[in-house]
A and B are shown apart, each in its own frame.
Chain A
Amino acid sequence: MTDKTQDWIDIAPLDAVPRLGARVVRREGRPDIAIFRTRDDRIFALEDRCPHRGGPLSQGIVHDCRVTCPLHNWVLELDTGRAVAPDEGTVRRFRVRVAKGVIQLARADLVDGNGAGETGCDAEAGLERCA
């Protein structure tokens, strides 16, 4: 059970996500979140919805700090959420971390701040960047 007062919510052990792979976090009434793991065990979280035509990014092939969408091969940067040029578009990011071998998402990114219904992280702080 996750404590309500905590800022970070446990999702799954790190090993639940394969290296160079992804898992989906299902949310009721909200778009899914895709959790990605790179070769060197960095974890990133993006909305599981390609800015092109909504393809499930979690089903793509992960390479370096990027994922290739399975529907029409757009490539998205895991850290910035941006499509690699010449494609243009951005996908929402979520703060994520691994604590004691457990993947955690930031609570603030998951609950409505102002009732707008959208969630995710708009700030740069707390988001890991690729080299």
Chain B
Amino acid sequence: MSNGQKMNGHAGANGSERGGRQRERLVVIGNGMAGMRTLEELLEIAPDLYDITVFGDEPWGNYNRILLSPVLAGEKRPDEIVLNDRDWYADRGIRLEAGPDKRVVRIERGRRVVIAADGTEAPYDRLLIATGSRPILLPLPGRELDGILTFRDMADVEAMQAAARTYERAVVIGGGLLGLEAAAGLQANGMDVTVVHLMDRLMERQLDGPAAAMLKRAIEARGISVLLEAETEALLGNAEGRVRAVRLKGGREVPADLVVMAVGIRPDTELAQAAGLHCDRGIVVDDTMLTFDPRIHAVGECVSHRGRSYGLVAPLFEQAKVAANHLARAAWASYRGSVTATKLKVSGVDLYSAGEFSAADGAEEIVVQDSGAGVYKKIVLENGRIRGCVLYGETVDGAWYFDLMRSGTDVSDMRRQLVFGQAHLGDSGKGGVNVADMADEMEVCGCNGVCKGDIVHAITEKNLFTLDDVRAHTKASSSCGSCTGLVEQILASVLGGDYSEAPKEKPLCACTDYPHDVVRRTILEQELKTIPDVMAFLEWRNPDGCATCRPALNYYLLCAWPGEYVDDAQSRFINERAHGNIQKDGTYSVVPRMWGGLTNPRELRAIADVAEKYAVREVKVTGGQRIDLFGLRKEDLPAVWRDLARAGFVSGHAYGKALRTVKTCVGSEWCRFGTQNSTALGVALERLTWGSWMPHKFKMAVSGCPRNCAEATIKDFGVVCVDSGFELHVGGNGGVKVRVTDLLAKVETEAEVLEYSAAFIQLYREEAHYLERTAPWVERVGLAHIKARIVEDAASRKALYDRFLHSQTFAQKDPWAERAARPAEREGRTPGDEFAPLALDLA
């Protein structure tokens, strides 16, 4: 979320209440990225819980430290990287004590005050330490000379730029991310730059040999010298006390008027240690970001969590969210460590790395190298999952691999295409387009007719950062979603280096930060049984939620508590409330269930009668082997259902996130090739599973032989009969992105088919995200997981099957019959009946 938005949201919220009731005092030490992100998160959830004081030893508000590199290179102005200016603090009634003399020098835990260099004191009830880290200064002879700098803050950048105006030669000690960014920046300022690096390859912590070699060539090609395996021994000065050269082990001297040390950072624990807080490498915190003192939280580079310290913003922002949650006394979030990804921000060099890049035992590598084109990609796999990747030259898929890695997606099935990227999976249907090469007029979103130019324009004009922003402003990717990958690539290519938002698990909707899985788990663990309970417990931002989360929560509760949860009609999409499909003109269509696609003259006659009686405007045979009646008025629906129910029909659920149809073929009864009675089996499957609510629609089919006339291999659950039994296929999809099923198992009896299908459905019901069809679900969790639960573990299959049957005892009530049976409403026009319009009497 951009700061601009937050600013408006909170303007004055704090100030107006000052001097009212006594509030607790929160003091923050460290005016940097982690500390201020924590405050932003805190103000979002609890805007006026605390009187807040912030101490910072840099003389300005908070800025985006990661963009110091483009500032140094002259690609951005300092004012462009400000995150929170002084007004931001003032508008929220936050006291900001900023400047070198405001550096906090002591924490007195007994008296609960912090004391700054100039003597300013601030008492606290809660303290947040966010002091970041300090650059390491090598203990070399000559380090006190003029012209020795580090690269950490705005003052360093100013000093480097000033030096570049007077002097010519610079040495950067350290060939890591920071050192290379410093070197490129100094070079852009017109200096002669040499990088001196101890190891045998650049960025050894992120890159493997080949990628590092390509990087070295690219760096050298811009005129920067690189010395590897070079250890600095001393810094040599001239008569005026300014550095003149760097001496390496072995005696070589490299002339330098400026030396930048970029050899690493150390968590800044000095204050905490002096105050007697437990520290190891950093300030030790638990999963709630609490230090050993229950009044003191810590976040950012200064902490040590489960033995790890982080030096990238994405994990710090995750920590900030957790710390804010506890400061706000919500107290349920926890931080469990992060997986990190790195991207080098040197313009013209495309480099991305995440996770492990060297294959340890049991891991394997997929490598593509095209030195001519300057492209290198390595993906490390273990147990079918991505453990890490290194991308050089072509990094658009970095975020995608990172996503797959963090979600632990089983990628075995896409293995062969994986390295060619997301576009090659046909995900976007626009195979292999490089977004940078796309013309502005090229259509990206077919549903809403949005071209690339429209999207780029919106991103730059309206300062959009996220997929959701782009969806809201352009409508691209907001309908069928098949162009999502492309839109994400366009975002990445337009925003370029600003990758500080690491991809995270998507929140369920804008009302919450929690992803689907957390919501589902919490419903079970906390035994939440109504939508308001879930929203209250998980602190939904909007009291009624929205049209996205309410149907999802209604389903999750229904699935979690069968027979107990009372369905909330107002949280269902109109189709599921009206048991028909709303049409573009506001009329409805109705599809009676025809078991397995079979019908008979009596049923057809009844349908014909209904069609005539209610002036149905069109009768159509559907793609799912049913009959659809179009153009019905809403107020006629109850009567239509009553008539259909009398003729023995139940609802076809053609409108629902539910079992749709079971398509069948002719089968052994008639067909000369049929091996089994596919029609009867299809009817049995439909009788077993109809009425069940699902995360998304669910379609089945049974084909009588491998000729597969019922198209069973693009269904959510498909059965192909063979002589010796039945092949069970899962996870198929026609629709937007065609996916052929995976073979789940082969069984011998019809009873097994029924048990396996019910178990599969139940697993899908319990684990998938709302509006996730089986195809993406199977891809996400992996076929191996599904086989483990359904094929390899008979007890688990049986348990799933039993749970499915249990939930069906409540679900298999025909909504039509139920309604027709209600006496008052048989007449159809009573108040409170949503189907009847209200009269207006103007007489």
Contacts and interface: CB of A to CB of B under 8 A. Distances in A.
Contact of B570 (A15, A24, A32, A61): A61
A63 B840 contact: no
B837 A1 contact: no
B584 A11 contact: no
A12 B840 contact: no
A130 to B, nearest CB: 12
B834 interface: yes
A96 interface: no
A21 B585 CA distance: 20
B574 interface: yes
B574 A70 contact: yes
B586 interface: yes
Contacts of B570: 18-21, 61-62
A68 to B, nearest CB: 4
Contacts of A73: 478, 547
Contact of A12 (B473, B573, B634, B838): B838
B542 A27 contact: no
Interface hub of B473, B573, B838, B842 (most chain A Cβ within 10 A): B838
Contacts of A4: 843
A82 interface: no
Contacts of A110: 840, 842
Interface string A11-46: 111011011110111110000110100110000000
Interface in B634-653: 634
Contacts of B372: none
A32 B585 CA distance: 13
Contacts of B584: 53, 71
B525 interface: no
B838 A35 contact: yes
Interface string B195-216: 0000000000000000000000
B623 interface: no
B838 A25 contact: yes
Contacts of A13: 831
Interface hub of A11, A63, A86, A107 (most chain B Cβ within 10 A): A63
A51 interface: no
A15 to B, nearest CB: 6
Given A2-B843, A53-B584, A62 B838 contact: no
B841 A63 contact: no
A22 to B, nearest CB: 8
Interface in B541-592: 542-547, 550-551, 569-571, 573-574, 578, 582, 584-586
Nearest to B547: A68
A113 B472 CA distance: 39
B491 to A, nearest CB: 16
A15 B547 CA distance: 23
B173 to A, nearest CB: 50
Contacts of B239: none
Nearest to A12: B838
Contacts of B573: 61, 70
B546 A68 contact: yes
Contacts of B621: none
Given A61-B551, A86-B473, 11 more contacts: A9-B840, A13-B831, A15-B832, A39-B543, A56-B586, A60-B547, A61-B574, A63-B550, A73-B478, A105-B840, A110-B842
Interface string B512-546: 00000000000000000000000000000011111
Give the 10 A-B CB pairs with smallest separation, nearest first.
Answer: A68-B547, A26-B837, A63-B544, A61-B547, A16-B831, A59-B574, A20-B570, A56-B586, A70-B574, A24-B837
A16 B832 contact: yes
Given A12-B838, A16-B838, A63 B569 contact: no
Interface of B: 472-473, 478, 542-547, 550-551, 569-571, 573-574, 578, 582, 584-586, 634, 831-832, 834, 837-843
A80 B831 CA distance: 28
A23 B577 CA distance: 13
Contacts, number: 102
A75 B511 CA distance: 15
Interface of A: 1-2, 4, 9-13, 15-16, 18-21, 23-27, 32-33, 35, 38-39, 53-56, 59-64, 68, 70-71, 73, 75, 85-86, 105, 107, 110-111
Interface hub of A13, A20, A55, A59 (most chain B Cβ within 10 A): A59
A63 B550 CA distance: 9
Interface hub of B586, B832, B834, B843 (most chain A Cβ within 10 A): B586
Nearest to B550: A61
Nearest to B570: A20
Nearest to A21: B570
B447 to A, nearest CB: 10
Contacts of B837: 23-26, 32
A19 B550 CA distance: 14
Interface hub of B547, B571, B573, B582 (most chain A Cβ within 10 A): B547
B546 A1 contact: no
Contacts of A62: 544, 570
A39 B544 contact: yes
Given A71-B582, A73-B547, A86 B574 contact: no
B152 to A, nearest CB: 40
B472 A86 contact: yes
A15 B831 CA distance: 8
A60 B550 CA distance: 12
B547 A20 contact: no
28 contacts: A9-B841, A11-B838, A13-B831, A16-B832, A20-B571, A21-B569, A23-B834, A24-B838, A25-B837, A25-B839, A27-B840, A32-B837, A39-B544, A54-B585, A56-B582, A60-B547, A60-B574, A61-B546, A61-B551, A61-B571, A61-B573, A63-B544, A63-B547, A63-B550, A64-B544, A70-B574, A71-B584, A73-B547
Contacts of A10: 841
A11 B831 contact: no
A105 B839 CA distance: 12
A59 B547 contact: no
A21 B834 contact: yes
B478 to A, nearest CB: 8
Contact of B840 (A11, A59, A85): A11
Contacts of A105: 840
A110 B66 CA distance: 60
Contacts of B543: 39, 64
B814 to A, nearest CB: 22
A49 B529 CA distance: 35
A26 B593 CA distance: 32
A118 to B, nearest CB: 16
A33 B838 CA distance: 10
A55 B586 contact: yes
A108 to B, nearest CB: 12
Nearest to A61: B547
A93 B644 CA distance: 39
